[in-house]
Amino acid sequence: MFHRSDRLLLRPIWPEDWKGVLAGIADEGVVRNLARAPWPYVEQDARNFTRLPIAPMHPRFLITRARDAQVVGCIGIDPPPADEGQDAGTVEIGYWIARPFWGQGFATEAGRAVLEIAHTLGYSRVIGSHFLDNPASGKVLEKLGFEPTGRVVERHSCGRGEEAPTAEYALSLEGISAADNAQAA
């Protein structure tokens, strides 16, 4: 699955992308904001990540600039954490942006695209979260139309090697079209 936005091309992640993934994510400032990526993040981690099978209903994308194919980051939707008790119509959004691209609106632009894809795939609700010491990610979620649930929960961060508090957000996709969702974001 591919998606083109104004400045970005979201495309499947292929094994040969490991160098681009490694270059963008092998930064402690990036990894510490993620739940699943280890620190230090090394070549084998990137190779393993780029070889993961892609489930059609839970796509992951390499975020690249459309003008030059430069790797900006990754984004995708996954099943919610097993302990959350969410229904089958719910997915969790996750993303990272390489440090040189912070503050340029790429996370929001890629997020809009993934919300359109989630809606097209028939999901009715998307959840997201951010570590409390990463408020920039919370601002991205709010720009996308997510609302805080009021819950703060501990979540393990492989990069930090410990639990850390996260703020949870949710967005209902019911009753809106993909175009409405993109405009609201």
pLDDT in tens, 19-48: 999 999 999 999 999 999 999 999 999 999
pLDDT at 83: 63
Those residues of the chain that have pLDDT short of 70 are 83-86, 175-185
Q: In what order do the strands lie in the sheet with 3-4?
A: 3-4, 8-11, 60-65, 71-78, 90-97, 125-131, 162-172, 147-157
Give CA–CA dist 109/185, Å, rounded.
Answer: 9
**Domains along the chain with CATH numbers:** 3-184 (3.40.630.30)
Residue 185 pLDDT: 43
Q: What is the reported pLDDT for 86?
A: 67
